[in-house]
Amino acid sequence: MNEHDEIGVFLGLDVGKSAHHGHGLTPAGKKVFDKQLPNTEPKLREVFAKLKTKFGTVLVVVDQPASIGALPLTVARDADCKVAYLPGLSMRRIADLYPGEAKTDARDAAVIADAARTMPHTLRSLELTDEITAELTVLVGFDQDLAAEATRTSNRIRGLLTQFHPSLERVLGPRLDHQAVTWLLERYGSPAALRKAGRRRLVEVIRPKAPRMATRLIDEVFDALDEQTVVVPGTGTLDVVIPSLARSLGAVHEQRRAAEAQITALLEDHPLSKVLTSLPGVGVRTAAALLVTVGDGTSFPTAAHLASYAGLAPTTKSSGTSIHGEHAPRGGNRQLKRAMFLSAFAALHDPVSRTYYDRCRARGKTHTQALLRLARQRINVLFAMLRDGTFYEPRTPRLT
């Protein structure tokens, strides 16, 4: 940090739900604070004020800047303290350098404070989050929870269909994201119910929701029904279970559509929105995820730093003369890594991205390794776009 020499006390906070443990050190390493802090504004403000009065500038450092760490950071800023973030992976690695193996709140707070004092390069700045980014953070987290719930419910439906009528699952399973299919299963959840409704009626009732595929879908459904003449024991339960699961899935999809609309509205007011979405493969949800994890990119000195933070710096497993190939590191920000991988996959329709991917495959890389390399190369592009505030310009990257 540029203003490291101005700090009068380094206050490390191991944040908790109801209370945080604070550990304060002077630049010389003298302990000046070591106790629990209730997670309330009055108590936090009181401690910050006392430390400021006695030592001058206070640097408050946390290992979790969101959720349970949000209030102490907000109060610290309002009390004119400086704030910073020690990433969890760095925290754990640094903790290994200190004596003792027991993981306690007091020890973690002491490690955070001493790391801030002696290793300022490990800290990440925490710029004041604007209202748009704060709202996006909540909405993106909510949308990701909904996506996980949709996946769980879809898998449950597909599992039941596979158990009792595999041919029907092959038709409906891959289409469970379509509103017409969930609506159909809400009303006709079993093979018997579908047969009873009849081909003509089913085409009529789903045509408003799927005009282009109504006839084709129902034809495929009845072809699948005709493939299986036996009734697997327990099939009768589908009339109760499948409609219930389909209703839950439809409700989750509706919530995701509403969340996406809110995210889109917020993105329209963010100055970096159009910059991010100009990159092939980056849609509304990915752009929002990038904004809440990377921001404007100024906290990363180079593209390599950003790639390391994302866990997209390929490494090679080796032992002696044996080389086991490239793989993505286990560390890194999972949300950012997922966003970059998904956007790389979505960008395969882009000629430049596809050419780079195909060249990687031609050099013997597996599909996953080629996507890893493409995602890493796109980190360079993203970093340059954020640094210069410019839109994406297609340029064929060189293989390294």
- Is the pTM higher than 0.85? The answer reads no
CA–CA distance from 351 to each of 344, 356, 398 (Å)? 12, 9, 14
Q: What is the pLDDT of residue 229?
A: 93
> Dihedral angle at the C-alpha atoms of 161, 165, 167, 171, nearest 10 degrees?
-30
Q: What is the pLDDT of residues 152-185, one digit of tens each?
A: 999 999 999 999 999 999 999 999 999 999 999 9
Residues of the chain with pLDDT under 70: 1-5, 66, 88-89, 100-102, 126-130, 314-330, 396-400
Q: What is the pLDDT of residues 174-221, one digit of tens each?
A: 999 999 999 999 999 999 999 999 999 999 999 999 999 999 999 999
User: Residue with structure tokens 């509205």?
Assistant: 265
Burial status of residue 102 (CB atoms within 10 A of its CB: 0-12, 13-18, 19 or more) = exposed
62 phi/psi in degrees, rounded to 5: -125, 165
4-128 maps to CATH 3.30.420.10:
yes
Q: What is the pLDDT of residue 325?
A: 52
The CATH number of 134-265, from 1.10.287, 2.40.50, 1.10.260, 1.10.1740, is 1.10.287
Domain-wise residue ranges, the chain: 4-128, 134-265, 273-388
Structure tokens at 69: 């760490």
Task: Give the distance, in angstroms, between the CA of residue 164 and the centroid of all CA atoms in the same chain.
Answer: 35
